[in-house]
């Protein structure tokens, strides 16, 4: 336990940044993924084309290159200066949004077409059909795959370690400079990630049970 209590400053910073990247990237991925997923099934050809282009372009680009662009390319654009943590949130959020979009699209396709047609028949526009009729039902069917996406997002936060972000993936190198055993540090990092994944798995079971009863 000395490797933990003797270096609480580094562990606190690493865990905080990991959670910041996870939650910030998760919120961005969820919001952007819902928009792109809805665009992928929209009746407007341009919206479908833009959604398809975004998913195929970003999803087929390695996450490391996405990080590279935001960490090293963004400052060259003359835009407001952002911290590496915020840039990491943008990188992982925009990347994960493609997977969220595909999960949402799959969930939308599970909703019977007749429900959307009935909603349009009473005069609801596309936006209200999606938000009031389709998406609430789609979310119930995509809880397991969506949680798998967020578990992958959590583990992908370690990519930020290669771009000067002090998070759990980078703490081994920092603690090695203090003379700590690298293997022990990695074991504790694995324990923390396992605990976080177990929390996400519990949340998945809770949502499944809650929405199963509501159904």
Residue percentage of the chain with pLDDT more than 90: 31
Q: Are 100 and 33 in contact (CB under 8 A)?
A: yes
Q: What share of the chain is helix, strand, coil (3-state, %, to 5)?
A: 85, 0, 15
Instruction: Give me the long-range contacts of 57-66 (CB less than 8 A, separation at least 24).
Output: 58/94, 58/95, 58/97, 58/98, 59/95, 59/98, 59/99, 59/102, 61/95, 63/91, 63/92, 63/95, 63/156, 63/159, 64/159, 64/162, 66/91, 66/92, 66/94, 66/95
Q: 116 or 84: whose pLDDT is higher? A: 84
For 126-144, the pLDDT digits (tens) are 778 887 888 888 888 888 8
Is the pLDDT at 170 greater than 90? The verdict is no
Cα of 60 vs its chain's centroid, Å: 16
CATH superfamily label, 2-214: MetI-like (1.10.3720.10)
**pTM confidence score:** 0.85
Look at residue 150 in the predicted model and tell me its pLDDT: 93
**Between 214 and 92, whose confidence is greater?**
92
Whole-number average pLDDT of the chain: 85
- Residue 198 CA, chain-centre distance (Å), reads 17
Which band of pLDDT confidence, cut at 50, 70 and 90, is reported for residue 215? very low
What pLDDT, on a 0 to 100 scale, did the predictor assign at position 212? 66
Which uninterrupted H or E stretch holds 55?
helix 45-59
Kindly report the number of other CB atoms within 10 A of residue 155's CB atom.
Answer: 14
Cα separation of 115 and 41, whole Å?
15
For residue 2 the two structure tokens come to 């000395």
Residue 2 has pLDDT above 90, yes or no: no
């Amino acid at each position: 336990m000395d490797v933990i209590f003797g270096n609480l400053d580094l562990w606190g910073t690493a865990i905080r940044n990991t959670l910041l990247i996870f939650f910030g990237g998760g919120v961005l991925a969820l919001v952007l993924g819902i928009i792109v997923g809805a665009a992928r099934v929209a009746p407007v050809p341009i919206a479908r084309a833009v959604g398809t282009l975004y998913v195929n372009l970003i999803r087929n680009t390695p996450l490391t290159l996405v990080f590279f662009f935001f960490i090293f390319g963004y400052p060259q654009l003359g835009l407001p200066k952002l911290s590496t943590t915020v840039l990491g949130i943008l990188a992982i959020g925009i990347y994960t949004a493609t997977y969220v979009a595909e999960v949402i699209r799959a969930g939308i396709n599970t909703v019977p077409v007749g429900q959307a047609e009935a909603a349009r028949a009473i005069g609801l526009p596309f936006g209200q059909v999606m938000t009031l009729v389709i998406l609430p039902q789609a979310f119930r069917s995509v809880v397991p795959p969506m949680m798998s996406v967020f578990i992958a997002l959590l583990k992908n936060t370690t990519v930020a370690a290669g771009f000067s972000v002090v998070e759990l993936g980078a703490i081994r190198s920092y603690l090695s400079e203090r003379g700590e055993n690298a293997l022990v540090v990695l074991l504790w990092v694995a324990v923390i990630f396992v605990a976080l994944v177990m929390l996400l798995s519990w949340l998945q079971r809770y949502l499944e049970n809650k929405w199963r009863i509501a159904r």
